[in-house]
Structure 1
Amino acid sequence: MTTELRVLRPSEWNEWFGSLELAFGGLAESPEERELWDALTEHERSIGIWDGSDVVGTAGAFSFRLAVPGGALVPAAGVTMVSVAATHRRRGLLTSMMRRQLDDVRALGEPLAVLTASEPAIYGRFGYGAATKQMSLEIDTDRVRLTVPDGTDGIRLRYAKPDEALTTIEGVYEQLVAGRPGAPAHGPGWERKAVLDPESARRGASPLQCVLAERDGGVVGYATFRNKPEWDAAGPKGRIVADDVSALDPAAYAALWRFLFEIDLTSTVEARNRPVDDALLHLVSDVRRCNITVRDSLYVRLVELGAALEARAYRAPVDVVFEVTDAFCPWNEGRWRLTADAKGGASCKRTDDPADLALSVRELGAAYLGGTSVDSLARAGRVRELRAGAVDEASLAFSSAVEPWLPRGF
């Protein structure tokens, strides 16, 4: 087989994207989605594999900054649109694209690459570790009540057209990004994705709706959602599907959820992507009737290990030497000494000192945002303690007061 791996040309985008659609089942994206992805695609960061005139592999990356513990926004490659044609599996095409892509990310000076995986088993061999989780809820609002904080009744709610509220929504989101490890800060154009509303996304529900929360004339939160009317012989049993609920303070947050819980003719509120430490869990009267499920979300790959570990803050002072294996990016292999003080400054440099912990770059990626403890990885046998106490020291230092979360996909 003779194939060619190269950068995507703008004129080839439709064919390239069509190959991606075919690999993911053959259902075409809506015209609105295609138009948006075409506009957002960074052609110079998108690669493909051609077998003759046929596209048989695709991979791309978006340039953005990722919030990390401590509030820094770190340059990251958002790996996306990865596929291999079913006719060309098990021929090393994915490995060749991952090799080319990580080399390019390194050349651009980005210390991190991140992705969401269609299947969890795919990307571990390339050094990606599962770093965040997302929680889904299906809440019986006939039986679950909310206890709201003082000030909730002082919040004014009003409907707004999602596309007209776009700038306002983004203003709230931008104020929240740095406080949530795992949240992406995107460039121009990405704000349109927050209100993208193709028919295929509705699943029988209404077009996207938006409510703004206001205090003293200023917007302090928003909710975007869909209403799915349903009826049976006993009457209405509609469903609210919450797309995004965000607020700058507890009262506004509670007011938005109370609004969603109390919409007429509905008895269920569904939310598909919430942080596992969502404050909503402390507002509900019966968490068991929230039907909670949790799954993996964002995967993190340290491309430049030293720069990545220096970019985040640590919750406690730490002085640990890692013995790191990284067969796919061998420039990361070897011993690294991580030191950080209580003021947040960190240093991660190569060293010949004896190792305290032995692990692969995959484990460092999993622990990087503070959502996976070094201790749990050690108990699974994926981190070896070579100095007594080193696991506890690293676990505390890497932990985050706020659970990492990917609020918006890419």
Structure 2
Amino acid sequence: MEIQKLTVNDFEPAMALSEYAFQVVMSDEQKEKRRSQFSSQDIWGVYENGQLGAKLHIIPFQTYIHGRSFEMGGIAGVATWPEYRRKGWVAGLLKHALEEMNRNKQSISFLHPFSFGFYRKYGWETYVEFKRYKVPTAHLPSKKATPGTIRRGDPGLSTLKEVYSAYAERYNGTLVRDDARWENSVLVNGTSQKAVYYDEADVAQGYLLYEVKENKFTIKEIIYLNEEARQGLWTFIANHDSMIQEVTLQAPASDTLAFQLDNPRIQQEIVPYFMARIVSVEQFISQYPFASQDSPVQIVLQVEDTHAQWNEGVWQLNVAMNGTASIWKTSEPITDDQTIKVDIQALTAVLMGYRRPTEMARIGRIYGPEAAIKALEQAIPVRETYLLDFF
């Protein structure tokens, strides 16, 4: 198996593989857009007899975790021609990708799995889900007068970015969106209608990206920074009641829309979405903002990671009173009554905030003395995961 980095000269065979594997046919315009983005991605392929047989893309992103920006490697475009499958090529590409991301200091990685079980074998774990709603018009929230105003039309990218960033920082695992992300993915082709809620001081506090078509109001993004903006945006949506039969949207898994309706019997679905993986335990934890403590905390972690040997081993984690952390591998003898044993999947789920240490201990995903697990529980801030994007 020969792994090579793809260049723009490999664009055509790479796109042919993508179209076949993902069962899509791209227009010339779509292909040219992909071509322009090709060089900004780290793309690796497996060749046999000079032919591209499998590939994988590493897209450079940043993600918010507890309000801090982390470098993240987004795995996408994983594909193999059928005649080359069952040869372990994707496994080789994933291992190579981990080495590349570690070298590039991308301490965390996300991907959208075709199979959660498949990627768990290589250290990724579910980190986020969302709630999908279908709301009949008769069930929409009651219209409420708010002191602000709604303005339709294009408010300018800077306004959307400011509101989004303030919202996204409240969650773990949202993307830090640069202008290219907005223009090439979020606002692609200008198909979405836009509406912004401004408060009495004329400050944007929320926005909608949506479409009204065939009696359906499809919300692509609904972002609000406070309850006033939420009510204002939903009143705007409800004012379309003569034009539509239902509203569809997705929201954080903890969203309480149904509870706030007069008739909460609406269609709700919890959808497992993306997976995450800590690429480098040392890099990730060193920049991780733990909760402030009354006194310094010392925790010993025995990490299992068969696909990234630099993570495997026993780590001494020290959390200072202000929440800053230091971590290093230790060769000193450690007894079971001092150590939390955890694989990289469970450690990722816990530090991303998707699952709590005590819960993971209860279901047998981490092991250790009760006092140590309780200390880890108290050290990890509580924050929900969410992701609005797809890649």
TM-score, normalized by length of structure 1?
A: 0.85
1:323 and 1:356 in contact (8 A); partners too: yes
Question: 1:127 maps to what in 2?
Answer: 123
Give 1:316 shift.
5.8
Structure 2 residue corresponding to 1:247, chosen from 218, 221, 224: 224
Report matched runs for 1:324-363 at 5 Å. 324-351=303-330, 352=332, 353-354=334-335, 355-363=338-346
Question: How far 1:281 sits from its partner (Å)?
Answer: 4.8
Aligned mate of 1:184, from 175, 182, 190? 175
Alignment of 1:211-250 (within 5 A): 211-215=195-199, 216-229=201-214, 238-250=215-227
- Check 1:50–1:39 CA distance in 2 against 1; reply closer, same or farther (3 A cut): same
Measured against aligned partners, the alpha-carbon deviations of 1:111-156 in whole angstroms (never above 9, x if no partner) come to: 11221212212211111111111111111230343486xxx61221
1:312 to 277, 288, 292: 288
Residue deviations 1:253-284 (CA, integer Å, cap 9, x gap) = 2211222233132131111x321123545533
Matches within 5 A, 1:3-402: 4-25=2-23, 27-31=24-28, 33-43=30-40, 45-69=42-66, 71-146=67-142, 153-161=146-154, 165-192=156-183, 193-197=185-189, 207-215=191-199, 216-229=201-214, 238-263=215-240, 264-271=242-249, 273-278=250-255, 280-281=257-258, 283-289=260-266, 291-315=267-291, 317=293, 318-351=297-330, 352=332, 353-354=334-335, 355-385=338-368, 387-400=369-382, 402=383
Contact 2:43 2:58 in 1 (8 A): yes
Cα distance between partner residues in 2 of 1:196 and 1:6: 31
Aligned to 2:389: 408
Structure 1 unaligned spans of 5+? 199-206, 230-237
Query: Alignment partner of 2:262: what SS?
Result: coil
Letter in 1 for 2:38: T
Q: Give me the TM-score of the superposition, normalised by structure 2.
A: 0.89
Please provide the CA RMSD for this pair: 2.3
Cα 1:76–1:256 change in 2 (3 A) is same
1:168-190 per-position Cα deviation (integer Å, ceiling 9, x unaligned): 32232223332221111144411
The verdict on how the C-alpha distance between 1:315 and 1:48 changes in structure 2, with shifts beyond 3 A counting, is: same
Larger mean CA deviation between 168-177 and 318-327 belongs to 168-177
| 2:278 maps to amino acid | L
Q: Offset of 1:404 from its aligned partner?
A: 0.8
Q: CA deviation at 1:54?
A: 3.7
Identity of aligned residues (%): 18
> What secondary structure sits across from 1:312 in the alignment?
coil
CA contact (8 A) 1:182 1:298 kept: no
Q: What is the identity, as a one-letter code, of the residue corresponding to 1:293?
A: E
Runs (5+) with no aligned partner, structure 2: none
> Partner of 2:306: helix, strand, or coil?
coil
